[in-house]
Each structure stands twice: as structure tokens, then as C-alpha cells.
Amino acid sequence: MSRLTIASVIACIATLFLQSAQGAESFKRYELRKSGQQLQLTLQELPRPSPGPDQVLVRVRAVSLNHRDLYVLQGFYPGSREGRVPVSDGAGEVAAVGVNVKRFKVGDRVAGTFFERWAAGKPSPAAFASARGGESDGMLAQFIVSHEEGLVKFPAHLSFEEAATLPCAGVTAWNGLFTKGGMQPGQFVLLEGTGGVSIFGLQFAAAAGAKPIITSSSDEKLARAKMLGAVGTVNYRANPDWEKEVRKLTQDAGVDQVLEVGGKDTVGKAASSLGMGGHIALIGGLSGFGGELPVTSLTSRGASVSSIFVGSRADFEAMNAFIERYKIKPVIDRVFEFDAAAAAFDYLKSGSHFGKVVIKM
């Protein structure tokens, strides 16, 4: 046997031994378990997974929370069940790749897409069934295995914690304003509250030369929003008919874009805030899902309405290019340790946050 052949055999044996050793290592992840009628986070320790031929093993460094994650924990969301790994959003580094993987290499810094199987174009039932942390397992784990099509590289100026905020809230705001809304410089943009989607919308609108107007029940939060580029603010607690105040800020022309995250208690007011040819992106239900759109009024103004359920990998990549160009830094309110994940969920539920709530590994 030649020296080269012997060396190859030794290298092969060493690789197999290393893979075996790595496979024997354990990792921790949170799963949902029933406690009475509720689901709760339970920390589990399992053997570390290995990637299949088209898969990537990601060492997760940080995850971020969305209101959807609260609905999953409360059992109000499709896929809420025992054994589910929660949380859609996370970022980390590539630890291993399958033999057929072309898009990534070990050491790449990546974020998971919200839908593992929606690359571009219109969504399909299969794409929606791949929603992380709901219909399929999520990111609240030290390691995850993902198909290579369900990952993106993120801008170099972002930390893992910052990148972890992007997959749901960032892409949702991007899709609503740019992909579906076609936002242009100079347009008035209405943002409801100071959660993740609205703050991303504020940052995107300001960077694009639009004129963001934002609502909140906190004057302190509104002052912070001004520092991020809001040209107008309205305290909806002090002004229950806040849509009238919004219209005043536009000299009664109305806004051009709305990221409608409030649900049944805000959708009618958002519609009343809209100007001629405006666009409403229907996103969330913070006050509950439902409400009525004034169809006749919208039609008479040539307005349009889009239903937004996050977006595709192509949306994510377009957003990343924008974030890179303008060096946008996501706004993080608080960072919790991995073993304090339950406290992070409680903090999000309190509504005290401004921007995103993050858990680091």
C-alpha cells in the first residue's frame, strides 16, 4: 500500500472517529410540555444531531422572540403541541455540512429563515408547513439541523444577537413596506406601537427617505422613536381617536403605508388614517384577530390591502442587502441567558419592551 493511500486511510479513520465523538456529545434545547391545560418550556438534553446530505448543522448563538411565540406557548397556534421546539428566529455559525451542501461552509455566520422551505415567489402549502417554531421545530436550541435552503448569511456588521432579530419581525416589515407596499421616499408611513415589526418599519422607512409616524401609550418610547427617525408621534392613550392626530400630521392627506399589527381594535383606525392610493399591510392581532375593514371607503380612495405572513428567503436576502447598505442596527431591548428563557417570554408578554427581546446561548 502506498504512503498516500495509507495517509488517506488514516485521515478517513480520524474523520470517522471525530464524527463519532461529536455525535456522542449532547446538546440542550427547550421543548413544550403540558402542565395542566398550559404548555411550558422544558429544558431537554439530547445527543447532538448530524446533518444529512443536503443539511447544515448550526451552532445557535442567539434567538429572538415574537408575539407568535407567546401564542404557541399558550396553545393558540397551529403546531402548539408537546415536544415542539419553539421560537422561529435564530442565528449562529455553521458547525458541519452535508456532502451535497453548496451554499455554506463550516464557520459561516447564518440566520434561519422563518419558513425553511420558501425560497422565493408565491408560498405553497409545503412552505407554510415549514414555519419554524410552529408547524415545525424552531430555534430555541444550542444546535439545529436545517436544509441549506432555509438559511441565509447575514450582514457582517451585525452580532449574532442582532441577526437573530431579523427572520420574522424584520422580514415582515420589509415585505409589508417594500415587497407588497412599494414604499417610496417622501411617503408617510404609519407604525403601530414599538414592538419588533414597528421598530424595524421605522428604521427602514427612515433609511429609505420616507416619513414615519408612530403610535405608543408611552411618551418615553415615543421620544426614543423620534431619535430613530420618526417625524411624528401620537400617544394613543392620551388620544383615543389617534387616527385624527395621524391625519393632522399629514396635513389631512393621510398616510401612504400602514404596518397594521394591532388587530381588531386598530384596523378600522388604521384604515381611517390612510390617504389616496395608500396601502395597508395586515400583519398581527395584538388586540385580537378580526375587525372590519371599511371596504367602500378604501375602494373610493383607490387603496390596497395585503395580508403579510413574514416572507420568503428572497425577501430576507433583499432586506439584508438594504441593512448592509445603510448599516442598520436592530434595536434590542433586553438580552436574557439561555437558562432564563422563561423569564424572556414573561418580559415579552408584559409589553414593556422597545424593539426586540433576545435570548443568547
What's the pLDDT tens digit per position in 234-280?
A: 999 999 999 999 999 999 999 999 999 977 778 899 999 999 999 99
pLDDT value for 288: 52
Instruction: Tell me, yes or no, whether 65 and 103 share the same domain.
Output: yes
What residue has cell string 383615543? 240
pLDDT value for 300: 87
Say which CATH number the domain at 138 has: 3.90.180.10
Terminal CA-to-CA distance of the chain, rounded, Å?
Answer: 47
C-alpha gyration radius of the chain: 22
Section 280-295 average pLDDT: 72
Instruction: Tell me, yes or no, whether 351 and 232 share the same domain.
Output: no
Instruction: Tell me, yes or no, whether 205 and 282 share the same domain.
Output: yes
Q: How many Å apart are CA 44 and CA 67, to the nearest integer?
A: 23
Q: Give per-residue pLDDT as tens, 191-208.
A: 999 999 999 999 999 999
Q: Which domain holds residue 153?
A: 22-168+311-323+331-360
- 72-84 as b/e, with b when 16 or more CB fall inside 10 Å? bbeeebebbeeeb
- 3-state DSSP assignment of residue 263: coil
pLDDT value for 296: 84
Q: Give per-residue pLDDT as tens, 305-344.
A: 999 999 999 999 999 999 999 999 999 999 999 999 999 9
Residue 68 falls inside a structural domain = yes
Instruction: Tell me, yes or no, whether 266 and 344 share the same domain.
Output: no
Q: Give per-residue pLDDT as tens, 118-156.
A: 999 999 999 999 999 999 999 999 999 999 999 999 999
Q: How many Å apart are CA 60 and CA 140, to the nearest integer?
A: 8
- 3-state DSSP assignment of residue 132: strand
Instruction: Tell me, yes or no, whether 151 and 205 share the same domain.
Output: no
Instruction: Tell me, yes or no, whether 77 and 139 share the same domain.
Output: yes
Pairing of strands 151-153, 109-112: antiparallel
CB 232 within 8 A of CB 208: no
Q: How many Å apart are CA 27 and CA 50, to the nearest integer?
A: 12
pLDDT value for 294: 77
Section 92-101 average pLDDT: 98
Instruction: Tell me, yes or no, whether 214 and 141 share the same domain.
Output: no
Work out the percent of the chain whose per-residue pLDDT is above 70. 91
Instruction: Tell me, yes or no, whether 293 and 352 share the same domain.
Output: no
What residue has cell string 401609550? 217
Q: How many Å apart are CA 69 and CA 212, to the nearest integer?
A: 27
Top-confidence residue, 10 or 173: 173
Residue type, 250: T
CB count in 10 Å sphere of residue 187? 21
- Supply the pTM of this predicted model: 0.90
Residue type, 237: R
Residue 356's DSSP bridge partners are: 332
Whether the predicted pLDDT of 7 surpasses 90: no
Residue 28 falls inside a structural domain = yes
Q: Count up the domains in the chain and report the number.
A: 2
Residue 51 falls inside a structural domain = yes
Section 164-179 average pLDDT: 98
Instruction: Tell me, yes or no, whether 219 and 317 share the same domain.
Output: no
Say which CATH number the domain at 289 has: 3.40.50.720
- 3-state DSSP assignment of residue 42: strand
